[in-house]
Amino acid sequence: MKVTNKQIINVFWKHVRKYPVVTAMLLTGTFSVYTVEIITPWFYKKFFDTLAAPIANGADILVHTLFIIIALELLAWLIYRLNAVGLVRLETRVIADLNETSFNYLIGHSYSFFTNSFAGSLVRKVNRLSRAFEEVADQVQFSLIPLIVTVVGILIGVSFRSIVLTATLGVWVIIFLTANYFFARWKQPYEIAKSMKDTEATGVLADAIGNSTTIKLFTGHEHEKQRYHNIIEEWRKVYSFTWNISEIAYGVQSLLMIAIEFIMLYIAIKLWRVGILTVGDFVLIQIYIIRLMRQLWDFGRILRRFYMAFADAAEMVEILELPHEIKDRKTAKELAVRQGKIEFNNVDFGFHQTRKVLNRFNLVIQPGERVALVGPSGAGKSTITHLLFRFFEIDAGHILIDGQDISKVTQKSLRDQIALVPQEPILFHRTLLDNIRYGQRGASDAEVVEAAKKAHCHDFINELPFGYDTYVGERGIKLSGGERQRVAIARAILKNAPILVLDEATSSLDSESEALIQDALRELMKGKTVIVIAHRLSTILSMDRIIVIENGKVIDMGTHQELLNRQGIYKKLWEIQAGGFLP
């Protein structure tokens, strides 16, 4: 989806208009400052005309004129300073609002959105949007409005002295602005390409840093170095190209300015010779030319900065304009779980049209029943639980909890009723207390400690220098796999949801810890409907029912012993795994 500059401006304006008073004051102040700058040169004209034609009280007039000039300069300085304070107030508030809007909308995107995106690139896009607004606001305040007021004011001012000079200057301004506008429009795609390469480079960098251990284990340093070099080289070429064409534009711009200064002064001399202009008019025209050049010299830069800012903002605005894949219906109700019965009725689901994961899948899990899902890799076991959490929308069929279609309830109420202990738990870079409390954010410290004891992680936490206040590192990297797993279990214990999903929750534990956790899990599973995704079949012997899945369908079910008495996939899987432990 291609985002237009209008959409970007609409996003900015939506946040700016929440502060109408300070915005109006800033616009008025900026207009006033540069209006004063247009008026001041007329007093310089009067000053030099008085010098050129001495009169009896000329000294008094000069002093009086000088005080007026100083008063006008001080007035402009004061308004400018007040404007700067107001701009800080406005920009910081809008930047904060933009960051919050970006975060709130971004975090609401679907599971699949995040699996297809680099975390580092998303962070970069959020930061770029706020920086782009800051750039646009600064350009409007310090460049665009001053440019408009200066050009219009100077043309009006010069018209009082000579229509010929006004027409000459007006035509030149039109040529200058038009050329810069079309150049900036032509350059924008290259600025967008540069931003995209920058984002791509950030994603590659973040991916490499996040997988630094894998790079070391597989001696991939040279490979990653070359990969990063290639993307940086592509970025350099695009950046170099945009920089070079900017320098060409500045060269042409300089020639145009040299030309208009010569033409204006040449015409002024002709008019002075016939008595139309005075010496003071030369001062007036020269000041106006200098100020006009100062503003117009930056016009190309203003446009380029606008387009660069729009290019930076485009990627995040695209995310803001992208509808959330999983949405609550307007009539969605709160899910009420009284028993915990789960039903999959003729469910079809596929990640691609050519690849179906579930095909008319049917399964009923009774309240309080503990079931295990087993099958070969790619059978659809994890997909079933993802659909239960409504991470994806199903293509057909219904998923019911206590008779309530999960597509018709709010996502929050659905996920509040299901606890998950994943195979590879990922923790926040926060304290252990915060990570466990995430299961029930209103829980007391005592409740967190009690959950940790049940998950058998209280002891190792107490051995840490800062105990429960220990920060676990990004994604919990400071803890071992088994410790992370026990923290995740403690979080699920604290949540105490009526439906529990265990994705091989003991896979990362040593034998001693596994025995302790199995006890905790048995306690946790009491009175709950439990779904276990089983990779190690030895962990599901006590399940009420084992569901065998292949190619997105239930092909067999029963207890462990019942399935062993049949010649089927489960028995083959059991013999393979059990055989691996035989001496």
Give CA–CA dist 411/424, Å, rounded.
23
The secondary structure of residue 324, as a DSSP letter, is P
Q: Determine how many CB atoms are found less than 10 A away from the CB of residue 321.
A: 16
Q: Given this model, what pLDDT does residue 227 score?
A: 86
How confident is the model over 535-568, as pLDDT tens digits?
667 667 778 898 888 888 888 888 888 888 888 7
> Is residue 354 scored above 80 in pLDDT?
no
Query: Residues 116-126: what's their mean pLDDT?
Result: 73
How confident is the model over 482-525, as pLDDT tens digits?
788 888 888 888 888 889 888 876 655 556 666 666 776 777 78
How confident is the model over 126-165, as pLDDT tens digits?
878 888 888 888 888 888 888 889 889 988 988 888 898 8
Q: Given this model, what pLDDT does residue 507 score?
A: 57
More confident residue, 120 or 533: 533
Alpha-helix runs per DSSP H in 116-220: 119-139, 145-159, 163-210, 212-217
- Residue 553: helix, strand or coil by DSSP? strand
> Is residue 84 scored above 50 in pLDDT?
yes
Q: Given this model, what pLDDT does residue 474 score?
A: 74
Q: Given this model, what pLDDT does residue 581 score?
A: 39
Task: List domains and CATH numbers for the chain.
Answer: 5-321 (1.20.1560.10), 333-417+500-505+531-583 (3.40.50.300)
> Is residue 19 scored above 80 in pLDDT?
yes
Q: Given this model, what pLDDT does residue 580 score?
A: 40
How confident is the model over 384-419, as pLDDT tens digits?
888 888 888 888 989 999 989 988 999 888 888 888
- Residues 436, 490 contacting (CB under 8 angstroms): yes
Query: Residues 360-375: what's their mean pLDDT?
Result: 89
Q: Determine how many CB atoms are found less than 10 A away from the CB of residue 124.
A: 22
> Is residue 213 scored above 70 in pLDDT?
yes
How far is residue 18 CA from its own chain's centroid? 21
What are the distances in angstroms from CA 27 to CA 18, 23, 136?
Answer: 15, 6, 14
- pLDDT exceeding 70 applies to what percent of the chain? 93
The secondary structure of residue 505, as a DSSP letter, is T
Tell which residue, 37, 264, 68, has the closest CA to residue 152. 37
Query: Residues 212-219: what's their mean pLDDT?
Result: 77
- Under the banding of pLDDT at 50, 70 and 90, the label for residue 582 is very low
Q: Given this model, what pLDDT does residue 398 score?
A: 92
Which residues, 6+ apart, have CB-to-CB distance to 121 below 8 Å?
199, 200, 202, 203, 206
How confident is the model over 304-349, as pLDDT tens digits?
788 778 888 888 888 887 777 778 888 888 888 888 899 999 988 8
How confident is the model over 257-288, as pLDDT tens digits?
888 888 888 888 888 888 888 888 888 888 88
How confident is the model over 50-66, as pLDDT tens digits?
887 777 777 888 888 89
Q: Given this model, what pLDDT does residue 237 score?
A: 86
Q: Given this model, what pLDDT does residue 67 score?
A: 92
Tell which residue, 463, 532, 534, 457, has the closest CA to residue 491. 457
Q: Given this model, what pLDDT does residue 583 score?
A: 34
